[in-house]
Copies of this chain bind each other. A is one copy, B any other.
Amino acid sequence: MTPNIFFSRRIRKTPFEDRVYEQGVKGFTVYNQMPLATSYTTVEDDYWHLREHVQLWDVACERQVEVRGPDALKLIQLSTPRDISKCAIGQCVYAPLCDEDGGIVNDPLLLRFADDHFWVSIADSGVLLWLKGLAAGLSLDVEVSDPDIGPCALQGPKADAVMQSLLDIDVHTIKFFRFVEVELAGVAVVVARSGWSGQGGYEIYLKNASHGLALWDAIWEAGEAHDIRAGCPNLIERIESGLLSYGNDMTNDNNIFECGLDRFITLGKQADYLSREALDKISRDGTTIKLVNLEFDGGPTPPLRATWPVYAGDEQAGILTSAAWSPRLERNIAFASVGIEYANTGQALGVKPAGEPATREATVVPPWRGS
C-alpha cells in the first residue's frame, strides 16, 4: 500500500492548491516546505502534452525572498559572483548563490524591481534565513522577508496565445527574462517570460495569495481553446532541456565550476563578494569532479530515491543524480557527477540502478537541448 502524504500548516498551503486536487494530481513532493505536484497523468503523458500544447503549473513553492532597503543591492551582490549591477529594473537574471567556501547555496532567479528592491525566486533551500543571517552579521540596513507571493507558470508552445488573450499589451514586447507589472483578470500580478522548462512561456507572480483561485480560473478559461492542462515541472523535459535541480544535481557540497555554472562569474577580480576568495582558489586549482550528461542502455528504470553509483570498469567514477526515460529519444538520459578524468564526451561508463544486479553501459554525451 502506498503511504499517504500528510500536510499540516507547517507545509504552507499554496494559493492554487484546491485546483491542483480538482485537476486530479497523481503525485506530490515537498519543495521549500510547500507541496509541488509531480504528475497529473503519467510523467510521460504530461511530457508529450507540455511539448505540444500548454500547461498551467502551481509553482508557488518557488518562494520569493524579498530584499528591500538601502543595502539591498549590497546584500544581493555579496551573495553571488554574478554582476548584479548589470541587471536592469524589470529584468530577471539566473544567479547562483555561493557561500564563503564556494559551495552553492541555491540557484535562484533574481528579479529587480528598483535599486533597493529585489525578489529572489528560490530553489529548495533556506535562502531566507541565510540572507537574514548575513544581513544581521554585517549589520546591513535591509529588510529580508518571505511574503506569500505564489507564482504559477504557463508553459508550452501555446503559452503566448493564451497569455495574449489575457493581456492588453502585445505579449511579444515581454522579452525573455523580462517582467511587467500588470493586472490579469483584475488581479495584480508580475508576468515574466521565464519558467522551468525549455518549451517557453511565463511565470505569473501573484502578489496577494487570496486571489489565487481567481487567477488560476482566468488563465484556465483562456486556455481551454488551446488544450490547456494542469501540469508541473517535468522530469523528462527538464533533463532534456539541461535544467539542473538544486538538491538533486548539485548541493551545498558542490561549487559552480563542478556544475558548469562558472560562466555566471561575471564580477571582476577586484569585486567584493562572499565567495570570491574560495572561487578564485578553485579557479586556479581546478576541480576533481564535473557534472555531465549521460545516456545509458536498457529500458526505463524506477525513479531514483538517492544517487546511483557510476563506474569506469571496476572503479567508482562518480554518482548519477537524476535520470529519466525519454520516450522521444528512446533512451535513458541522466545527469551524473563524475571524476574530471571521466568527463569527456564519448567516455564509456557503467551505471548501476538501485536494486539491479548488474551495471548498464553508459556514455557521456553532449547536451540534448535542441536534439
Is A370 in the interface zone, CB < 8 Å from B? no
Asked if residues B30 and A247 are in contact (CB atoms below 8 Å), the reply is no
Interface 9-residue window, one of A162-170, A174-182, A290-298, A304-312: A304-312
* Pairs A–B under 8 Å by Cβ, sample size 9: A2-B4, A6-B303, A8-B248, A10-B245, A99-B132, A126-B128, A126-B129, A126-B130, A133-B134
With A and B bound together, what is the CA distance between A130 and B99 in angstroms? 12
Contact B5 A5 (CB under 8 A): yes
Q: Residue of B at shortest CB range from A13?
A: B306
Number of A interface residues, CB 8 Å?
55
Q: Using Cβ atoms and an 8 Å threshold, which residues of chain B touch A9?
A: 247-248, 304-307, 321-322
A358 proximal to B (CB < 8 A)? no
Complex interface: chain B residues within 8 A of A146 (CB): 252
Q: How many copies does the complex hold?
A: 2
> A125 vs B133: C-alpha distance in the bound complex, in angstroms?
13
Contacts of A135 in B (CB 8 A): 133, 137
Which one, A21-29, A83-91, A220-228, is touching chain B? A21-29
Selected contact of A27 from candidates B4, B37, B137, B245, CB within 8 Å: B4
Min distance, Cβ A287 to any Cβ of chain B, angstroms: 20
Q: Is A138 close to B, CB under 8 A?
A: yes
CB distance from A5 to the nearest CB of B (A): 5
CB distance from A53 to the nearest CB of B (A): 23
Q: Look across to chain B and name the residue whose beta carbon is closest to the beta carbon of A40.
A: B3
Cross-chain contact of A3 among B28, B137, B246, B247 (Cβ < 8 A): B28
Residues of A71-130 contacting chain B, CB below 8 A: 99-100, 105, 124-130
Q: Would you call A7 an interface residue if the criterion is a C-beta within 8 Å of the partner chain's C-beta atoms?
A: yes
Q: Which 10 A-B pairs have the closest CB atoms?
A: A137-B137, A126-B126, A133-B133, A10-B247, A129-B130, A30-B30, A133-B134, A137-B138, A4-B27, A6-B38
Encoded as 1 (CB less than 8 Å from any B CB) or 0, chain A from 127 to 155 comes to 11111111111100000001000000000
Residue of B nearest to A31 (CB): B10
In the bound assembly, the distance between CA atoms of A135 and B100 in angstroms comes to 10
Contact of A26 among B4, B134, B245, B246 (CB under 8 A): B4
Chain B residues closer than 8 Å to A322, beta-carbon distance: 8-9
| A4 and B39 alpha carbons, distance in the complex (Å) | 9
A307 to B13, CA, bound (A): 10
Q: Which residues of B contact A41 (CB under 8 A)?
A: none
In this assembly, does A11 line the interface, its C-beta being within 8 Å of a C-beta of chain B? Answer: yes
Which residues of A in the span 50-71 have a Cβ within 8 Å of any Cβ on B?
Answer: none
Please name the residue on chain B nearest to A140 by beta carbon.
B137
A33 in the interface (beta carbon within 8 A): yes
Residue of B nearest to A146 (CB): B252
- A343 CB, nearest partner CB in chain B, Å: 20
A289 within 8 A of B: no
A192 within 8 A of B: no
B residues less than 8 Å from A25 (CB atoms): 3
Q: In this assembly, does A274 line the interface, its C-beta being within 8 Å of a C-beta of chain B?
A: yes
Specify which chain B residues have a CB less than 8 angstroms from the CB of A7 in the assembled complex. 29, 305
Query: A28 contacts which of B6, B31, B134, B136 (Cβ < 8 Å)?
Result: B6
